[in-house]
Amino acid sequence: RFIKRAFIELGFDDGEAELRARLYMVYHVWEPATFGPQGGKKGYLKAIERRVELLTRQ
């Protein structure tokens, strides 16, 4: 619920906020396996930056 509320506060309607919250959770859970050690810490942090940008852009 916190994540969905955060997206609503960013200006997304209820449906968009729900979808983005679900995507965030999927990305969050799979991020270490997807962007883990092979990219090093710098690559991992850059992937997080890109995910936040992708999910918060309107």
Measured between alpha carbons, how far is 43 from 36 in angstroms, rounded to an integer? 8
- The model's pTM: 0.65
pLDDT tens per residue across span 32-43: 777 666 667 787
Measured between alpha carbons, how far is 51 from 27 in angstroms, rounded to an integer? 8
pLDDT tens per residue across span 16-37: 999 999 998 988 888 777 766 6
Residue 46 has a pLDDT of 84
